[in-house]
Amino acid sequence: MACPNPRPAATIKAVGGASFEVGEVGEVGEVGEVGEVGEVGADMGQVSFTGSSLPGETGIAGRAGLGRRLPASSVVPLQASATCGAQRLGIGARCRITTMSHPEIVDSDMLEPEDVRILRALQIDPRVGFATVATVLGISELTVARRYRRLRRAGMIRVVGVVDPGALGQSRWMVRLHCRPGSATAIAEALAQRDDVSWVALNAAGSEITFAVRSRSQEQRDDLLGRRLPRTTAVLDLQASVILRQFVGGRGHYWAALTGTLTPEQESALGSGGNPFTERRVVRNQRPVVRNQPSQLSAQDEKLLAALAADGRASLVDLAVAADLTPGRVSRRLQALLSDGVVHIDVEIAPVALGYRARANLWLRAHPGSIKAVGRAMAQMPEVGFAAAVSGPYNLHAVVQCRDLDELFEFTSDRVGTLPGVEGMEISPILRQLKQAGTRVDGDRLTDPPSEHSHRR
């Protein structure tokens, strides 16, 4: 969010009649916390700030003398009060600087290079510490923390733990619903509220719903697909396709789109070994899409997974409290769940953050001998956030993001349509996204679940 009117140096009169010069305004923190303050005259000592926009949140302290101007993309605090404790003014002398604004999503063309580099660092290691990111990128830890929190508050990014139902012995399904005019929105909203539905979108001028089912049990899936939806009078048609092979998705979302943002040395320092998503195939030493021997979860595992679903960057202390474990035990259990593929830490990025405003579902019909080649080719395309082989009349499904409809046309006709083996394709533009990877979407903004109370790191 930009500051509409950056203020130049000015003279402020303090309580008690004393006055002093205020230099350039420094960087301001996100809503609910205040960043560094610019230079305040000469020999003014320290300036402490508190921010108040959300109940229970306290702003961080700033220090005088930094003298940096407010960047165009910085978030202005709802209210910032400055207490000037300079000795020359006397103890208790106060001045108040109040700025009012409203949080809104940051447009893609307002993202600064540092924002994109931080997104890439988190894409490589979602739980990496801010200090490590700061060292690798050559910026301050405070700057990394502030920019991440601003992006999160603006709905640009969320880091969440996502459970793989295949690890629990359950398959994943992509479902298309054709509804009576005027009824699709209400049905889509109801689906988005379900924990076992991870992705919901309205297509075809609002008469079609596409959603992904990640049920934790067969009974839960059968109840939704076999009983509830078929009995809904507003549902005219239901087509369910099981996911047979996933080519890109999970933490691999937009991996290719951010390739080159960091140098190979920087990516190596963050632990990058390439795309974190590996295509799943049924061969020796690799886990199949649905396991024959499902992982067994304890009650403490379930609590840990629920905490990660709320905040994938929650500290070990917070996770230990949620799971009723010690930090040491929760660390070991987290690593075991990650290594076993039961959960992965997903970095969800709002497409608008990367400049993508035209979204669509692609349903492709490929020659049976070309399905894997087409799926793997699409996995390397920056516009593709998800691609999988599925059952049904279309044997490939992909979710793509382009900057506009013209680019969507060029992408589907010149790059996807010309892939060897592609025999047919249906393009279904997304009218409205309601949920992605378990995260609710409000307009172009990723939103936190109402029940989330975890610390925002």
Residue 40 confidence (pLDDT): 35
pLDDT(339) > 80: yes
Confirm if 455 and 318 have CB atoms less than 8 A apart.
yes
pLDDT tens digit string along 217-235?
888 999 999 999 999 999 9
Mean pLDDT, residues 332-359: 91
| pTM of the full structure | 0.71
Residue 437 confidence (pLDDT): 85
Residue 110 confidence (pLDDT): 62
Query: With DSSP H G I counted as helix, E B as strand and the rest as coil, what are the percentages for the chain, rounded to 5?
Result: 30, 25, 45
Confirm if 97 and 79 have CB atoms less than 8 A apart.
no
Domains in the chain: boundaries: 1-103
| Rounded (10°) angle between helices 299-310 and 327-339 | 80
Using pLDDT thresholds of 50, 70 and 90, give the confidence band for residue 258: confident
Confirm if 434 and 189 have CB atoms less than 8 A apart.
yes
Q: How many residues does the chain have?
A: 457
Give strand pairing partners of 347. 159
Give the H/E segment covering residue 142. helix 141-153
Using pLDDT thresholds of 50, 70 and 90, give the confidence band for residue 46: very low
Residue 388 burial (CB count, 10 A): 27
d(CA 215, CA 212): 9
Residue 341 confidence (pLDDT): 86
pLDDT tens digit string along 297-331?
999 999 999 999 999 999 999 999 999 999 999 99
DSSP string spanning 390-433?
Answer: ESSSS-EEEEEEESSHHHHHHIIIIIITTSTTEEEEEEEEEEEE
Give strand pairing partners of 241. 174
Q: How many CA atoms lie within 13 A of 305 on its CB side?
A: 20
pLDDT tens digit string along 263-305?
999 999 998 666 666 665 543 345 567 777 888 999 999 999 9
DSSP string spanning 220-239?
Answer: HHHIIIIIITTT-TTEEEEE
Strands 358-366 and 396-402: what pairing?
antiparallel
